[in-house]
């Protein structure tokens, strides 16, 4: 049986982790995988998470199974953080193993409910989106999103392509902090996207992996809330990996908004899907999140640290845009300060990205996506000088 298997393509993001690890050069810089790092290069356990873990150790009396959908308190707290109040009667939800688990379960739900639907993704998007869609044998289409010349959103192209979506198709949207580009829609532009998708009869599927990393916890949920209020049916996949810094705990949620009269059936289908794939979702991270969101002091501590993280990335963006302005003697990279979230796509060629790796030990994804949080005050000018060098050659 196993002899028929052929090698799978390497994941371009995860592959960088090993390449970076195996590089012996002391000055190497990792701008690859989307993991927050502080100025010393560490990915700390957030203070509120540590406090919740301590408390959990004391109060947890059993490790028996949770419900198939996860703990209701987790689902309610996280759904409220994402959607705000007032939608509980439309909200079916399950805890999932991270954001990827939520995407996977969400796509399986779509496949069950609308097997013929095409799933539209932005060009470009997080590579795992098309990979899972193809793996599930679903139809895939792309809408334009990024203008390679300006490194901003190609809004005209986006609207034109969304105008071709067929009734019942599913459109995957990044709720905030677009990955990989860092270019995001204004709320006015989101309003227009909603109008077009409503006119087409599409079903929005929001991927919300970076809430709190862009303009703020509430601000980053604004587009998702706009969509939730505007459509009868919405699928939302959200991750706690980044905003709670609990990457390896695999903590996420899949939300399906629909007709309140159908909520119990949808909820049953979500729980059934969990049973088919892994039975019970991971609990530890979900329990920490529930404790933090349920305790005003822990919530305040967590929000304060998340805001520190967000501001440090904004500061690095400003530093990098300035350094690139000086190093290249141009405003070509000013978009870095306008972008939001963890990533920016710099607009370099694959060959230039390769040279940065070979000659300067700077690791970024082949499409020139950088993780802003991989930088610090010392490495910002190093990156800017290296970029200027490969551009000049
Ligand atoms: C990323 O885009 O780097 C992160 O979401 C990590 C991953 O799983 O790809």
Query: 218-245: per-residue pLDDT in tens?
Result: 999 999 999 999 999 999 999 999 999 9
pLDDT band at 35 (very low <50, low <70, confident <90, very high): very high
179 lines ligand 1 (CB under 6 A): yes
State pLDDT tens for residues 351-371: 999 999 999 999 999 999 999
Cα of 13 vs centre of ligand 1, distance in Å, is 7
CA max distance for the chain = 63
103 lines ligand 1 (CB under 6 A): no
Domain ranges, ordered by start, for the chain: 10-44+308-392, 65-294
CB 363 within 8 A of CB 15: no
Average pLDDT (82-108) is 97
Q: Which tokens in the block code for residue 75?
A: 């689902």
136 lines ligand 1 (CB under 6 A): no
Average pLDDT value for the chain? 97
The three-point CA angle 350-352-358 to 5° equals: 105
288 lines ligand 1 (CB under 6 A): no
Ligand 1 atom 1, closest CA: 34
Beta bridge partners of 203: 170
Average pLDDT (307-325) is 98
pLDDT higher than threshold 90 for residue 347? yes
239 lines ligand 1 (CB under 6 A): no
Cα 146–chain centre separation: 17
pLDDT band at 78 (very low <50, low <70, confident <90, very high): very high
State pLDDT tens for residues 297-311: 999 999 999 999 999
126 lines ligand 1 (CB under 6 A): yes
pLDDT higher than threshold 90 for residue 350? yes
Q: What is the reported pLDDT for 115?
A: 96
- The residues assigned a catalytic role are 126, 207, 209, 242
Based on DSSP, count helices (H) and strands (E) in the chain, helices before strands: 14, 13
Helix, strand or coil, per DSSP, at residue 152: strand
Domain covering 65-294 in this structure, CATH number: 3.40.640.10
pLDDT band at 59 (very low <50, low <70, confident <90, very high): very high
35 lines ligand 1 (CB under 6 A): no
Cα of 64 vs centre of ligand 1, distance in Å, is 31
pLDDT band at 275 (very low <50, low <70, confident <90, very high): very high
Mutate to test the pocket of ligand 1, among 14, 18, 34, 342 (most ligand atoms within 8 A of CB): 34
Average pLDDT (305-334) is 97
Q: With pLDDT > 90 as the criterion, what percentage of the chain qualifies?
A: 98
Ligand 1 atom 5, closest CA: 34
Q: Which residue has the tokens 């290069």?
A: 41
Helix, strand or coil, per DSSP, at residue 207: strand
| Dihedral angle, C-alpha 153, 120, 216, 105, nearest 10 ° | -160
* Distance between CA atoms of residues 99 and 237, nearest Å: 6
Backbone torsion region of residue 86, taken as left when φ is above 0, otherwise alpha when ψ lies between -120 and 50, otherwise beta: left
CA-derived radius of gyration, the chain: 21
Cα of 179 vs centre of ligand 1, distance in Å, is 9
Q: Is the CATH number of domain 10-44+308-392 3.30.590.20?
A: no
* Distance between CA atoms of residues 45 and 56, nearest Å: 15
Cα of 198 vs centre of ligand 1, distance in Å, is 30
Q: What is the reported pLDDT for 387?
A: 98
Q: Among the residues of 178-295, which ranges form H helices? A: 187-200, 222-230, 263-277, 284-294
CB 94 within 8 A of CB 68: yes
* Distance between CA atoms of residues 215 and 178, nearest Å: 12
pLDDT band at 393 (very low <50, low <70, confident <90, very high): confident
pLDDT band at 44 (very low <50, low <70, confident <90, very high): very high
Q: What is the reported pLDDT for 268?
A: 98
- pTM score of the predicted model: 0.97
* Distance between CA atoms of residues 284 and 48, nearest Å: 14
Average pLDDT (249-273) is 98
pLDDT band at 127 (very low <50, low <70, confident <90, very high): very high
Q: What per-residue string of b and e applies to 303-314 under the rule 16 or more CB within 10 Å gives b?
A: bebbeebbebbb
Q: What is the reported pLDDT for 292?
A: 98
Cα of 60 vs centre of ligand 1, distance in Å, is 31
Q: Measured from the CA of 241, which atom of ligand 1 is nearest?
A: 5
Task: Residue 153: name the closest of 181, 191, 172 by CA.
Answer: 181
Q: Which tokens in the block code for residue 91?
A: 């909200």
Q: Which residue has the tokens 């709190």?
A: 212
Q: What is the reported pLDDT for 25?
A: 95
* Distance between CA atoms of residues 71 and 89, nearest Å: 18
User: What's phi and psi for 308, nearest 5 deg?
Assistant: -60, -45
């Amino acid at each position: 049986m196993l002899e028929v298997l052929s090698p799978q393509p390497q994941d371009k993001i995860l592959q960088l982790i090993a390449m970076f690890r195996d590089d012996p050069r002391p000055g190497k810089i990792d701008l690859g995988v989307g993991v927050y790092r502080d100025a010393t290069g560490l990915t700390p356990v957030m203070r509120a998470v540590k406090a919740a873990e301590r408390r959990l150790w004391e109060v947890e009396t059993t490790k028996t199974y949770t419900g198939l959908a996860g703990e209701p308190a987790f689902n309610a707290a996280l759904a409220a953080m994402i959607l705000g109040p007032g939608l509980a009667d439309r909200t079916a939800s399950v805890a999932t193993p991270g954001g990827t688990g939520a995407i996977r379960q969400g796509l399986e739900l779509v496949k069950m409910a609308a097997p013929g639907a095409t799933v539209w993704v932005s060009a470009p998007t997080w590579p795992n989106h098309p990979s899972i869609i193809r793996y599930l044998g679903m139809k895939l289409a792309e809408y334009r999103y990024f203008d390679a010349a300006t490194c901003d959103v190609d809004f005209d192209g986006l609207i034109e392509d969304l105008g071709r979506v067929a009734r019942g198709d599913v459109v995957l949207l990044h709720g905030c902090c677009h990955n990989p580009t860092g270019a995001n829609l204004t709320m006015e532009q989101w309003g227009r996207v909603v109008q077009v998708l409503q006119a087409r009869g599409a079903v929005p599927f929001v991927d919300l992996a970076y809430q709190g990393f862009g303009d703020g916890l509430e601000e980053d949920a604004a587009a998702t809330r706009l969509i939730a209020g505007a459509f009868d049916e919405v699928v939302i996949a959200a991750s706690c990996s980044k905003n709670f810094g609990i990457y390896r705990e695999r903590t996420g949620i899949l939300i399906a908004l629909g007709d309140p009269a159908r909520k119990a059936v949808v909820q049953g289908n979500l729980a059934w899907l969990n049973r088919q794939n892994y039975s019970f979702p991971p609990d530890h991270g979900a329990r920490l999140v529930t404790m933090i969101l349920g305790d005003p002091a822990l919530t305040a501590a967590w929000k304060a640290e998340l805001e520190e993280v967000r501001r440090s990335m904004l500061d690095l963006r400003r530093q990098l845009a300035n350094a690139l302005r000086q190093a290249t003697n141009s405003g070509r990279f000013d978009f870095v300060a306008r972008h939001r979230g963890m990533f920016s796509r710099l607009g370099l060629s694959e060959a230039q990205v390769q040279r940065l790796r070979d000659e300067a030990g700077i690791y970024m994804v082949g499409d020139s996506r950088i993780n802003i949080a991989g930088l610090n005050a010392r490495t910002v000018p190093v990156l800017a000088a290296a970029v200027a060098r490969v551009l000049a050659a």
